[in-house]
Chain A
Amino acid sequence: MTTMLLTESFAERGARERARALLDPQTFRELIGPFERIASPYLAAQGVVPQSDDGTVVARGTIGGVRACVVATDGRFLGGSIGEIGGAKIAGALELARRDAQRGTPTRMVLALDTGGIRLQEANLGILAVSEICDAIVALRELMPVVAVIAGRVGVYGGLSLSTALCSEIIVSEGARVGLNGPDVVETESGIEEMDSSDRPLIWRVTGGRLRLRQGFATELVSDDVPAIRDAIARAFETPNELGPLVAQVFPDPRLARDDFLRAMEIQP
């Protein structure tokens, strides 16, 4: 028990504890907490037990003494998927942060995402929410940094990986993965020769945090350690180091055979 408490792993925590860990001590205040029971009404009919926070936690507090909001998704609940409620929590928080910035009382916004993407069980509502999240991130970025922290067990895939790429600062851990299509989906759609979703080391080599930093798609690579992540977030707000523009980078000829292409990218096939 004692050793568990001494570890400062971020990935081992649930969404609520992750949000608490990123805010200054004793400042965590949850909005629309689990006791308000705004849970998805779409899941039971599809054989899934809903969760009273819908897998997304919004918390206010301070970061470095400045007003802040952390939104954390729970990768352990339906893969951290985003449905109507979770999507509205993220979009709504971003909209309020923009309002604050326009009023001259900026709220530091941190998206601690751990998600496989849009929730299939409420797909239409999820995709609409993600279109709102994308718009809100771009709008807030006009006024202040929007910081993403990808340091959970799932990483970020699907519509939310697209949203993440719109952020001004992206902090990734070595254990995190960032990609558009999950390995399962690539295998289903394109075959096991394209991607073997059971080959976990390959998945990390192709979508892991270390590669993303090398490519310049992340501003910082951190270990799975709460103080390290907090320091990286502080740097992101104090001395912003914005990601480059979203333009194509040089890459090998995609007509190369799969393994040759990966080797040309310095990725072991």
Chain B
Amino acid sequence: MSASVRGRAWFERLTGKARPVEGLPPSVLAADATIEGHAVRVIAVVPDPSARFERARNGEMGIDEGFGVAAAVNATPAGSAILAIVDVPGQAFGIREEAIGLQRSLAASTQAYIRARRGGHPVLTLVVGKAISGAFLAHGLQGGWIGAIDDAGIEIHVMSEAAVARVTRMERDDLTRVAKEIPATARDIRTFATFGAVDRIFAVSDPDAPGDADIADVVRALAEVLRTPEIGCRNPRDRLDVPAALHTRTLARRVREELQAQWDA
């Protein structure tokens, strides 16, 4: 598997000459950029072929990445928004990580994003590549606003197709068929957007090397969102009430209604 170049490409185009945040592992990029007058700490997780953990060299969220993203988020300057650039192929699958406790590393960045957002820092997310499983939970999915590029290379899921096939004992052909019939199992961004969690999908010329027009388009949209900080401070629960979710997440809504009705006897 060749490591993806997307995260770094989009990070570099969106941060330009902004000064990088120091003290982070090489796989965590962060810089304080200005987007049409708005201060934004931009954070990306990228491949590092010489990472000290061998299972976290292709851009996965591992021990160093979770705690690294958490450090970058926790040190966000007052008054600054946060932009998470997402191209994460998954979490690191290694025995060293499990022994150390990978769930805590990913919880650290998740908690950092939540506290930043609830503390008044708008958190925006731009999905430019893979957004898989725990890695997406820990980097991106806590955003109050989520944008994505319109590209077949984007994959959103909780597990690789090979591992799903093993765990569910289904053939891969069957999994592909099921994904067409049951949107909840699909892996593409357009289907994921039908659940109400994606606010904007951008058409781009080249996902690996975004052109000037692509960047201008995204910057214009980000600036528009940043003008209303409440948008970037929306909680994940608020996604249930967006129009797209009204017909796709009916059970999640009904369960909450019933719980509320029955909560106090």
Q: Which residues of A contact B (CB under 8 A)?
A: 29, 31-32, 36, 38, 41-42, 45-47, 58, 60, 83-85, 87-89, 91-93, 95-96, 117-118, 120-132, 134-136, 138-139, 158-159, 161-166, 178-181, 184-186, 188-190, 194-195, 206-207, 211-212, 215, 217, 246-249, 251, 253-255, 258, 261-262, 265, 267
Question: How many residues of chain B get a CB closer than 8 Å to chain A's CBs?
Answer: 77
The residue in chain A whose Cβ has the minimal distance to the Cβ of B255 is A88
Surface stretch bound by A, among B6-14, B96-104, B207-215, B222-230: B96-104
The residue in chain A whose Cβ has the minimal distance to the Cβ of B117 is A135
Interface digits, B75-118 against A, CB 8 Å rule (1 contact, 0 not)? 00000000000000011011111111111111110110011001
B235 at the interface (CB under 8 A from A): yes
A249, B252: Cα distance in complex, Å: 37
Knowing A124-B191, A180-B102 touch, does A131 contact B258 (C-beta < 8 A)? no
A87, B197: Cα distance in complex, Å: 16
Q: Which of B67, B95, B100, B251 contacts A38 (CB 8 A)?
A: B251
Say yes or no: A31 contacts B262, CB within 8 Å: yes
The 5 lowest CB-CB distance pairs between A and B, nearest first, are A165-B107, A88-B255, A246-B108, A189-B93, A161-B103
A38, B249: Cα distance in complex, Å: 13
Chain A neighbourhood of B95, CB < 8 A:
186, 194-195, 206, 258, 262
Give the distance to chain A from B159, nearest Cβ to Cβ, in Å: 6
Knowing A42-B184, A117-B158 touch, does A135 contact B237 (C-beta < 8 A)? yes
Say yes or no: A206 contacts B99, CB within 8 Å: yes
Knowing A124-B186, A180-B102, A185-B163 touch, does A138 contact B111 (C-beta < 8 A)? yes
Surface stretch bound by A, among B15-23, B30-38, B39-47, B136-144: B136-144
Say yes or no: A251 contacts B255, CB within 8 Å: no
A31, B138: Cα distance in complex, Å: 31
Cβ contacts A to B, 24 pairs, < 8 Å: A38-B258, A60-B265, A84-B252, A121-B185, A123-B184, A124-B192, A126-B158, A128-B252, A129-B252, A134-B142, A135-B142, A138-B111, A162-B137, A164-B103, A180-B102, A180-B103, A180-B106, A181-B97, A181-B98, A186-B93, A190-B93, A190-B94, A262-B95, A262-B96
Give the distance to chain B from A48, nearest Cβ to Cβ, in Å: 9
Say yes or no: B255 contacts A32, CB within 8 Å: yes
Give the distance to chain A from B240, nearest Cβ to Cβ, in Å: 8
The residue in chain A whose Cβ has the minimal distance to the Cβ of B253 is A88
B4 at the interface (CB under 8 A from A): no
For the A-B complex with A124-B192, A186-B93 known, give 13 more contacts whose Cβ atoms are closer than 8 Å. A31-B259, A96-B259, A117-B158, A129-B252, A131-B142, A135-B237, A165-B103, A166-B111, A179-B101, A188-B163, A247-B67, A249-B100, A254-B63
Chain B neighbourhood of A162, CB < 8 A:
103, 106-107, 110, 134, 137-138
Chain B neighbourhood of A132, CB < 8 A:
235-237
Chain A neighbourhood of B178, CB < 8 A:
45-46
B173 at the interface (CB under 8 A from A): no
Chain A neighbourhood of B133, CB < 8 A:
118, 127, 158-159
A36, B261: Cα distance in complex, Å: 13
Give the distance to chain B from A204, nearest Cβ to Cβ, in Å: 12
**Counting chain A CB atoms within 10 Å of each CB, which of B91, B95, B98, B168 scores highest?**
B95
Say yes or no: B141 contacts A88, CB within 8 Å: no
Say yes or no: A246 contacts B102, CB within 8 Å: no
Chain A neighbourhood of B183, CB < 8 A:
124
Say yes or no: B252 contacts A123, CB within 8 Å: no
B205 at the interface (CB under 8 A from A): no
Chain B neighbourhood of A41, CB < 8 A:
251
